[in-house]
Chain A
């Protein structure tokens, strides 16, 4: 099972759209959480429609539009998105109205847009795309499920171009609630480049909307080849993780020594460093190590941001210094792995290669 990544559209807390620059400049956010840098939506949506839409829907439609253009694809043969929290802003809005108006005088708009499948549905609606349409909502496996589904669908033979996406938004209220259970750092305004060195509990919250066209055939817009993905639920020990990684590599005729770069999900929370540290010092010790969550923040579908990074590294054959851990050991970058976990419960590993 494999696919070419033929197009990308990504809206994130960094400058990731409307530029070919690859993280040469890092945007520092002096705020509680890393919020996306949003485009002007005029070029993506008619203003009447845009006014009624929540931020995450607008960001996702814009990111998917950029992605279609990038891939030179107009109509996907399938749409699969991953989102752990769905349309949080609308969910909170409707919930707030129920509580404060004692279940009276409610209007349907925020309820309608609160369902988790709103984004994939809206993309289908805008395109009049009647093809296969799925929304995955499994915490740290949401985007990963969409990736696996796309790989299976391409292998099944009929689809040529598939749109996949990962999207989650942060809100002030959700930030506060998760802060109360220790998700985020107590220290304020940890500098971006210092996050992973903080040695304290908690991460920094983030959000994003990243879309990809996965295709059967390579094209002049191709970035890289996606060769497989594995999810690992509550791994019992590092051996289990190494075994799963080795399995994924072996099924593609590779060993750990073939991996030039690894993109790790280090999020600055000292409690979750152990897996990443172990891999960096053992199975994947010969590969160049990079990380990304200081740039996009922690969220359940952050794997989609990592997939953008890995695809960009392979396409441009460069590793921006802002993501490097230690030294750059790679001359040519043929194979890249992404290793990520959300809360040390949902682990995932992706394999990408030069085509």
Chain B
């Protein structure tokens, strides 16, 4: 079995930037991307702040270097931009040089397109080539779109475990390399804003009407976001001679088995996922320099996650922040976007603050980092992602040490 999983490329697009450099600048300058919904028609436009990528689909298509006839969903386009950046930054020029796969993740796939066309699809009076777009509803469609543009053919898969989806695509990719099935995998996730999700979260009454306040005693809920993150992971063989940005040292997946949408108060599933990630990495909690928390800003998540962290770290919690107040909660993409942020923390030796925090939760021993912490030596980062259906995942990223 291959042991090491090397990260050689990063790509990200979200409300705080269309690439890694722009995102880093926003993170360092405490610049949130949460604002008014513009690209999706919704009656909730004015009372639901979101983290939106401020480009139209036509603009995204052009940014990806595609001609306008090459159509995809917004989910596909966002994913492609992040995946293209990851492949480019990894220095891959010949995609066929090694056994290469792509694993993406998404929560609603092509829903952003389906919800606009659904009535027309069902109307026998209307017809045209656009009827074909129903195929883009399937979650796997965006993955195949990205794979086709990049020329990836050896392995494709797509995962949907709600808001933990892209942590699981990173985990699956690592395991495929360890088993020798693939040499390198482009892993991540993508999700675009949709009325479906906005209204869904509204019915659950967990959307903050202002900017979200993760881990604050007075938090009111989450802000939805959209975007994509991809990283390139490689075996030792494929990464030979390349710049290693970081290593994926641990991963864990578990199920809270408590409730379809709510996390257990003690975060039992979250605890198990983190514990498994530590076991895979061989690290101890005291080795962790920074936790990029799931921290959505909902009453239940932050309580559940915080309690599990307090228990696992025996109340000696290292620097911790949620970056959801920058990007919004990007659902199936969030774990991959935050994987990029976690690796940036290692590369730049800094901790990105938890915005909008004022009052500590009395149930927890810790408060999040609220200012940009520079010149901190960051060797190991724990990144959590939890979703509906009790799906809980944790990843550990580590500095690559040359011997």
Interface residues of A (CB under 8 A from B): 1, 79, 84-86, 94-95, 98-99, 102-104, 106-108, 111-118, 120-122, 124-125, 127-139, 141-142, 145, 148-149, 152, 155-156, 173, 176-178, 180-181, 231, 233-234, 300, 345-346
B141 within 8 A of A: yes
* Residues in B whose Cβ lies below 8 Å from that of A79: 255
Q: A130-B256, A130-B272, A177-B122 are in contact. Are A117 and B160 (CB under 8 A)?
A: yes
Q: A112-B261, A135-B160 are in contact. Are A102 and B43 (CB under 8 A)?
A: yes
Is the CB–CB distance between B255 and A137 below 8 Å? no
Q: A116-B160, A121-B391 are in contact. Are A106 and B202 (CB under 8 A)?
A: yes
A85 to B158, CA, bound (A): 12
Q: A103-B195, A111-B200 are in contact. Are A234 and B153 (CB under 8 A)?
A: yes
Q: A125-B257, A149-B172, A173-B122 are in contact. Are A138 and B390 (CB under 8 A)?
A: no
Q: A127-B257, A139-B141 are in contact. Are A133 and B390 (CB under 8 A)?
A: yes
A141 to B131, CA, bound (A): 23
Count chain B residues whose beta carbon lies closer than 8 angstroms to a beta carbon of A: 66
Residues 175 to 211 of chain B near chain A (Cβ within 8 Å): 175-176, 179, 181, 195-196, 199-200, 202-204
* Residues in B whose Cβ lies below 8 Å from that of A142: 140
A-B contact pairs, 7 of them (CB 8 A): A103-B195, A116-B139, A130-B257, A135-B160, A137-B140, A138-B158, A181-B134
Residue of A nearest to B139 (CB): A137
Is the CB–CB distance between A129 and B160 below 8 Å? no
* Residues in A whose Cβ lies below 8 Å from that of B366: none
Is the CB–CB distance between B196 and A94 below 8 Å? yes
* Residues in A whose Cβ lies below 8 Å from that of B141: 139
Is the CB–CB distance between B260 and A134 below 8 Å? no
B261 to chain A, nearest CB (A): 5
Known contacts A117-B388, A135-B391, A233-B144; 17 additional CB pairs below 8 A are A103-B42, A107-B203, A111-B204, A117-B162, A117-B387, A121-B388, A121-B390, A131-B255, A132-B253, A132-B254, A133-B253, A137-B138, A137-B139, A137-B159, A138-B157, A181-B135, A233-B155
A347 to B324, CA, bound (A): 39
A156 to chain B, nearest CB (A): 8
B168 within 8 A of A: yes
* Residues in B whose Cβ lies below 8 Å from that of A130: 254-257, 268-269, 272
The 9 closest A-B pairs by CB, nearest first: A121-B389, A111-B200, A139-B140, A138-B140, A108-B203, A116-B160, A138-B158, A137-B139, A133-B255
Of B118, B140, B144, B390, the residue contacting A84 (CB under 8 A) is B140
Is the CB–CB distance between A134 and B199 below 8 Å? no
* Residues in A whose Cβ lies below 8 Å from that of B162: 115, 117
Of A98, A104, A118, the residue contacting B260 (CB under 8 A) is A118
Of B135, B168, B257, the residue contacting A128 (CB under 8 A) is B257
Is the CB–CB distance between B139 and A138 below 8 Å? yes
A149 to B260, CA, bound (A): 24
* Residues in B whose Cβ lies below 8 Å from that of A125: 257-260, 390
Is the CB–CB distance between A133 and B199 below 8 Å? no
Is the CB–CB distance between A152 and B175 below 8 Å? yes
Residue of A nearest to B156 (CB): A233
B59 within 8 A of A: no
A128 to B174, CA, bound (A): 28
B127 within 8 A of A: yes
* Residues in B whose Cβ lies below 8 Å from that of A127: 257
Is the CB–CB distance between A141 and B388 below 8 Å? no
B384 within 8 A of A: no
Q: A98-B115, A127-B257, A130-B272 are in contact. Are A181 and B122 (CB under 8 A)?
A: no
